[in-house]
Amino acid sequence: MNFRRVVLFVAVVLCASLRPTQLRAQDQRDFWVVNNTGSTISRLYVSPHERYDWENDVLGDEVLPDGEAHLVTFSWRYISSCQMDFKLVFRDGSTQTYLEGRNVCELFAVEFNATNSIGY
């Protein structure tokens, strides 16, 4: 594990520990996205593993530069699934999908790198 990754992980842990209890209790699926892909993510789609279409971009007007993290919060009351897939769209228009069906209800963070994702 390189130094940059350790610092980023510690920062995410500290930020999450400082979140208000109300935010943590809003939805058990809320989680941090850590970008270690080497590229800026311009759009991030999260969708239940059992569905064949993507929900809305969770970054909205933001982008997620390499080496940074973003808190994904859920307000989807019509979906109860915890198993999620991810589609990243990078600034250059290329895409990467992660179809492992990560259980975000049991994870604190999902780190994306160039070839796979890691759940924490």
Q: Which domains does the chain have, with CATH numbers?
A: 3-119 (2.60.40)
Give the pTM: 0.77
pLDDT digits (tens, 9 = 90+) for 49-86: 998 889 889 999 999 999 999 999 877 666 778 999 99
Instruction: Please give the helix or strand (H or E) that residue 13 lies within, else none.
Output: helix 3-18
- CA–CA separation, 61 vs 83, rounded Å? 25
Sign of the four-CA dihedral 61, 85, 117, 11: positive
Name all contacts of 17-25 with Cβ < 8 Å and 24+ positions apart. 19/71, 23/73
Helices and strands, counts by H and E, the chain? 2, 7
pLDDT digits (tens, 9 = 90+) for 19-29: 444 444 466 78
